[in-house]
Structure 1
């Protein structure tokens, strides 16, 4: 089964401004975000990444740039991994949005939340999950079932993908935390996904390395969709 690394963009100029940037143009990584992106690239250097897919937002493309440096890869831009279309909420201060009746819906019943002049969170989840599964199938077909690939997107988008992978209703996705430049890991199989990491901002990356290739005479084992009874043994 492939290893998908879901990467949230590094800290941006809007993350500390108290404004809901959404799809506003010109939102870049701040100095902290640039440092986070560089540190992530150093951390993932040993990982043989087969493909990189990114949201069209500038902050995401800036985040994957250090990761691509020195690799024979280019990032594929995927419109369906773009930030939520917040419509009339775009560019407004969060302190004022807290007072809107829709805010409580977004927090407690997000599957019913539709932003005025924008999209609904349920529609966002549908398009982002479909895009991820399509790219995962493509990576598997082109690079094999043990390939590792990266998708860089936004907080709510990644949370919705993780909720789907965990078998959670979208109304539970606000319970998931995805910090700037964190990685979360999902393995897709024929019957269900497995979530390996959530909101990982440091530590050992050996578990992201594909298994060593077997000798030529041995047929590679078919990836299993079964969970390990009693729990996995970890990485030796």
Structure 2
């Protein structure tokens, strides 16, 4: 079956302001996010892509823009099922204040039972995204053969959920996975099992350097704890 290249959207204005964007309309890439998107064609140079699939949200479409400009014949498809998690009443709120919500500990430690007020459950989020990928794999294979490669631009929690599925991990473990803005994750699907080829690859090892963390917010503006052990809901803003 085909190889799927998952790209998280570039850094957005919500990432840098420490806001959980969710499906809030009008959230665009910030200056750094635009630069990350501009570098994407070079990073994928030499990879023979047959299709591009995007979340309908603006920040994902903007991320794929330079790649589509560099490859005029590459078809673009929009897929609602890989849109951001519907965080419901949490959408548009500061991550620092959400860290005090009782639900946050459930999101961190038992996400398979977490459901956002006025939104969807994390279990439903994973199910729809996995269904979308499986169907796109079959479609790409039928149209282009089992060696085809295609790219899909989505969101942090969606990508983490897809990686967990590919690794046979329970959703309760998916917070151990991380994907920075505009990072590349690659999964090759076969008849018997998926193979994780890349995970959160940005080509920037500087992001591994230690960062100072203050109680209440980390260097990305995301909610943090005194142990800095919580995962950034929505994916975080990446290295400063």
TM-score bracket relative to the smaller structure: 0.7 to 0.9
96-105 vs 188-197, which deviates more? Answer: 188-197
1:43 aligns with 2:31: no
126-135 vs 185-194, which deviates more? Answer: 185-194
- Whether the 8 Å contact between 2:52 and 2:151 is mirrored in structure 1 is yes
d(CA) in 2 for partners of 1:197 and 1:48?
Answer: 17
- Cα displacement string for residues 51-91 of structure 1 (whole angstroms, at most 9, x for unaligned residues): 11000000000001111113202310000000000000011
Cα RMSD of the aligned pairs, angstroms, is 0.9
SS of match in other structure, 1:190: coil
d(CA) in 1 for partners of 2:121 and 2:70?
Answer: 39
Q: Which residue of 2 aligns with 1:174?
A: 175
1:7 aligns with 2:13: no
1:152 aligns with 2:150: no
Instruction: Give the alignment's TM-score, normalised by structure 1.
Output: 0.84
Q: Which residue of 2 aligns with 1:33?
A: 33
SS of match in other structure, 1:178: coil
1:118 aligns with 2:124: no
What aligned pairs does 1:1-236 form with structure 2 within 5 A after superposition?
A: 1-71=1-71, 72-202=73-203
- Whether the 8 Å contact between 2:3 and 2:189 is mirrored in structure 1 is yes
- Cα displacement string for residues 30-70 of structure 1 (whole angstroms, at most 9, x for unaligned residues): 11001001111112122110011000000000001111113
How many residues end up aligned between the 2 structures?
203
- Cα displacement string for residues 129-168 of structure 1 (whole angstroms, at most 9, x for unaligned residues): 0001100110011001111100100000000000000000
d(CA) in 2 for partners of 1:120 and 1:27?
Answer: 22
SS of match in other structure, 1:140: helix
Larger Rg: 1
SS of match in other structure, 2:40: helix
d(CA) in 1 for partners of 2:31 and 2:18?
Answer: 17
Stretches of 4+ aligned residues off by more than 4 angstroms: none
SS of match in other structure, 2:179: coil
d(CA) in 1 for partners of 2:76 and 2:174?
Answer: 27
Structure 2, unaligned runs of 5 or more: 205-240
SS of match in other structure, 1:197: strand
d(CA) in 1 for partners of 2:114 and 2:129?
Answer: 16
d(CA) in 2 for partners of 1:176 and 1:94?
Answer: 19
SS of match in other structure, 1:15: helix
d(CA) in 2 for partners of 1:43 and 1:200?
Answer: 10
SS of match in other structure, 2:13: coil
d(CA) in 2 for partners of 1:92 and 1:70?
Answer: 36
